[in-house]
Amino acid sequence: MKPARFGYHAPQSVEETCQLLASLEDAKVLAGGQSLVPLLNFRLARPAHLVDINRIGNLDRIYERDGGVAVQALARQSTVEDSELAARLCPLLPAALRQVAHRVIRNRGTVCGSLAHADPASELPAVMLALNGHVVAASARGQRIIPAADLFTSVMQTALAPDELLVEAWFPGAHGKYAIAEESRRHGDFALAGAVRYGDRLALFGVAATPVMADPRDPTKGLQPSGDLEATPEFRLHLVRALTERLFAA
């Protein structure tokens, strides 16, 4: 057995899930498992309880709301990628999804899971920030909306409380000029640095603890990216300048 022992719960509804999250100590939501299960396998995460939301019915819808696209917690990334509605209302979203991992991973991974996981090198958090979207969080205490600008607080940290379920992500209708570009060592890997353009707005990912908004005319201002085996801080800054130039030249 690779993962450490955990209590397994498979609630059938959002209400039941919220109840479980309110009552269990040290519980983690299991959605697509494409980020959480690797952490469990390597025992980098050892939650006492897993709340598997995959048995909840009617939580996989993709629908139009307030002129934008609402994506519920169990909508798989591959389904959103193929969604005609998403392509029509917010084509940046499917374009960004095609850069997330590989199709086989996207067959399980969810859009909401990617936002909740908040990997700083992830595409979707930056897309949500560039578009000024929001997420809807539910708990036994009720529902609340968290705007993108308040959602990402640090490396893999969000404003979601431990007892909250992210039930829906909302991406505004986006008809201005949009583009996403990133550089990675191999196709499908996490980006060394990436940039999302929507109109005059620029969001960067992979270069700070969270996705960040930047000034297209001076995109590296104030940035202090970290260095690792794959890229030095200087190289990341270079990538930011090059990617920004590419996005705004088009």
Partner 1 sequence: MKVNGVAHPVPVDPRRLLSDHLRHDLGLTGTHVGCEHGVCGCCTVLLDGAPVRSCLMLAVQAEGHEVTTIEGLAQSGSPLHPVQQAFHECHGLQCGFCTPGFVMSVVGLLREHPDPTPEQVDEGIAGNLCRCTGYASIRRAVHRAAELSKK
Is 29 or 131 the residue whose CB approaches ligand FAD more closely? 29
**For residues 8 and 52, what is the distance between their CA atoms, to the nearest angstrom?**
7
Choice from 12, 107, 154, 224 touching partner 1 (CB under 8 A) = 107
**For residues 149 and 130, what is the distance between their CA atoms, to the nearest angstrom?**
9
Site string for ligand FAD, 194-213 (x = CB under 6 A): --------------------
Q: Give yes or no for a contact between 204 and 211, defined as CB atoms under 8 angstroms apart.
A: yes
Which one of 99-107, 133-141, 216-224, 228-236 is the stretch in contact with partner 1 (CB under 8 A)? 99-107
Smallest Cα–Cα separation from 185: which of 235, 148, 230, 232?
A: 230
Please name the amino acid found at residue 85: L
Choice from 48, 91, 104, 245 touching partner 1 (CB under 8 A) = 104
Choice from 29, 70, 89, 93 touching ligand FAD (CB under 6 A) = 29
Is 83 or 110 the residue whose CB approaches ligand FAD more closely? 110
Number of residues engaging ligand FAD in binding (CB under 6 A)? 29
Tokens 């505004």 belong to residue: 172
Count of other CB atoms within 10 angstroms of residue 233: 14
**For residues 147 and 153, what is the distance between their CA atoms, to the nearest angstrom?**
12
**For residues 158 and 174, what is the distance between their CA atoms, to the nearest angstrom?**
24
Structure tokens that stand for 167 in this block:
């039930």
Q: How far is CA 113 from CA 13, 197, 205, 216, 247, in A?
A: 17, 23, 17, 29, 27
Is 105 or 209 the residue whose CB approaches ligand FAD more closely? 105
Choice from 24, 71, 97, 123 touching ligand FAD (CB under 6 A) = 123
Q: How many helices (H) and strands (E) does the chain have?
A: 10, 14
Site string for ligand FAD, 128-147 (x = CB under 6 A): --------------------
- Would strands 27-30 and 49-52 be described as parallel, antiparallel, or unpaired? parallel
Residue 220 beta carbon to ligand FAD: minimum distance, rounded to whole angstroms: 22
The reply to whether 229 sits near partner 1 by the rule CB under 8 A is no
The reply to whether 50 sits near partner 1 by the rule CB under 8 A is yes
Question: Where do contacts with ligand FAD occur on this chain (CB under 6 A)?
Answer: 28-36, 38, 73, 100-101, 105, 109-110, 112-114, 116-117, 119, 122-124, 160, 165-166, 190
Question: Where do contacts with partner 1 occur on this chain (CB under 8 A)?
Answer: 1-6, 8, 10, 30, 33-34, 37-38, 41-42, 50, 52, 54, 78, 101-105, 107-108, 187-188
